[in-house]
Structure 1
Amino acid sequence: MQSLHISTSAMRGIQQALDNTANNLANIDTVGYKRRTASFSELLSDSMTDQPAMDNQNRSSAAGLRIGSGARLGMTRLDLAPGSIEETGKPTDVVIEGQGYFLVTKKIKDAAGEIIREESRFTRDGSFKIQYDDDEGGYVLHTTSGHILTDENGVSIVLQEPIEDIKITPDGEISANGDTFKIGVWKVDNPDQLQQVGQNLFDAELDTEENPMAKYENAIELRVAKLRQGALEGSNVTMTQEMSQLVNIQRAYQLNSRAIGISDQMMEIANSLRSR
């Protein structure tokens, strides 16, 4: 029975690793996407110490027999390797060179159209578009998901006119028609703890109107990031690496599936011997 538990727990983790690889491949062309790698951890194991004395002599390992319970998917780590940078020439396209994330916000409304809260998200996707926003009373830079780019204080950047001639400096200063803002780029100490919420976004874990400086540091001021206008960062997913991982996952799944089949045959033989 123990072999069945070990193989089934391993197959469960392998299925999750397969889903992770599939998600990476699905986002191979997503701007600013960071791939995740699966890592496994061992489940609790039992130790049997009732061995004959002669078996305990001249051994370098610990006393007793260790009986494992299999493995599981421990966590998926965020691969922070930079993606390839593509020059687009669009003034509203911005790429982060180095560490850090853009902070974008979106107002959540109820059925009556009343604002009930504001959600804050992190993203590396710098493909912004200009659009008029009724709630902000001006033109904003927003993502494809409708989230608005914020400044170094976590406040939405609002332009008074739909100007295409926007200048963005490497230190994050954005200027248009005499208005000047400072784009916020935030450094996260432990990116593995960021929760993916879909649409290439991460939960920033900020309350409504909470200043991001209370939890995060400005990556530009720390000199670990700078901005480049007119370019986008591609996904850091590579087809060859993911396909190689996919082959390893398939082999591991087949091995555990075969182990379950052999265990079933062994129990069938044992039952047939007992019935005689």
Structure 2
Amino acid sequence: MQSLNISTSAMRGIQQALDNTANNLANIDTIGYKRRVASFSELLSDSMNEQPAADNQNRNTSVGIRIGSGARLGMTKLDLGHGSVKVTDVPTDVLVEGNGYFLVTHKIKDATGNVIQEENRLTRDGSFKVSFDDDEQGYVLHTTSGHILTDENGVNIVLPEPVTNIQITAEGALTANGVSYGNIGLWKVDNPDQLQQVGQNLFDAELDSGANPTTKYTNALITGDATLRQGALEGSNVSMTEEMSQLVNIQRAYQLNSRAVGISDQMMGIANQLRSR
């Protein structure tokens, strides 16, 4: 039974690693996407130390027999490597160079249309669009998911009229038609591995509705940890070659454990036949 437990637990972890690889491949063209790397950890193991004296003679290894219980998917670590730079020459496309994330917000409404909560999200996707927002009564920069870009105080950036000639400096200063509209907020996350992905290329900022981001994060533009580049985007850091190689390794590991389950089943069948005689 122990061999079955070891193989089945490994197969569950391998299946989760396969799902992770499939998600990386699905986002190979997603702007600002960061791949995740699966890593395994060992389950609880037991040690048998009471062995016959004959087994201890001429022994080169440590005393005791280590009996494992298999492995599981320990964690999926976020790969913070930068993706390729894509020059678009679109004024509302902004590339983050360095360690920083945009803070974007989205209002959640009830059935009557009243705002009940404002969720805060972090993203590296700088492909913003300009459109009119009824709640803000002005034009905003928003992501493809509808989340609005905020300034250095966590307040939505609102343009009172349709503007042209948008200029964004490396330090985040936003101007349009020669009028200044504040500075874009870019926030440094000390431990990005703890960021929780919530879909749509967004991470949970773990901020209360209306909270100032300075209470949790530091401005990466002020500290010099990052700069902005207008008219360019950061591509995904997923490598097709690396992911396909990982896919082959996962397939081989799954086949090995599947074969181990089949052999264990055959051995238990033979033991049952011997006992019935």
User: How far apart are the structure 1 equivalents of 2:224 and 2:97?
Assistant: 11
Report the CA distance between 1:61 and its aligned residue. Answer: 4.1
> Which 5+ residue runs of structure 2 have no aligned equivalent?
none
User: How far apart are the structure 1 equivalents of 2:61 and 2:99?
Assistant: 44
Report the CA distance between 1:149 and its aligned residue. Answer: 0.3
Amino acid corresponding to residue 219 of structure 1 in structure 2: A
1:194-229 deviation digits (Å, cap 9, x = unpaired): 111000000000001111111111111221110000
> Which 5+ residue runs of structure 1 have no aligned equivalent?
none
1:31-78 deviation digits (Å, cap 9, x = unpaired): 000110000000001111220134335545443211100000000011
**2:2 equivalent in structure 1:** 2
**2:129 equivalent in structure 1:** 129
TM-score (norm 1): 0.98
1:34 aligns with 2:25: no
**2:89 equivalent in structure 1:** 89
**1:239 equivalent in structure 2:** 240
TM-score (norm 2): 0.97
User: How far apart are the structure 1 equivalents of 2:136 and 2:56?
Assistant: 75
1:273 aligns with 2:270: no
SS in 2 for 1:221: helix
1:223-276 deviation digits (Å, cap 9, x = unpaired): 111000000111111111110000000000000000000000110111111111
1:154 aligns with 2:154: yes
1:257 aligns with 2:258: yes
**1:176 equivalent in structure 2:** 176
**2:193 equivalent in structure 1:** 192
Amino acid corresponding to residue 98 of structure 1 in structure 2: G
Amino acid corresponding to residue 255 of structure 1 in structure 2: L
Report the CA distance between 1:179 and its aligned residue. Answer: 2.6
**2:210 equivalent in structure 1:** 209
Equivalent pairs counted in the alignment come to 276
Aligned 8 A contact 2:130 2:139 in 1? yes
Equivalent positions of 1:96-135 (< 5 A) are 96-135=96-135
Cα 1:272/1:207, change in 2 over 3 Å? same
Equivalent positions of 1:54-93 (< 5 A) are 54-57=54-57, 59=59, 61-93=61-93
User: How far apart are the structure 2 equivalents of 1:270 and 1:50?
Assistant: 26
Aligned 8 A contact 2:98 2:226 in 1? yes
User: How far apart are the structure 1 equivalents of 2:237 and 2:8?
Assistant: 32
Aligned 8 A contact 1:159 1:179 in 2? no
User: How far apart are the structure 1 equivalents of 2:10 and 2:130?
Assistant: 48
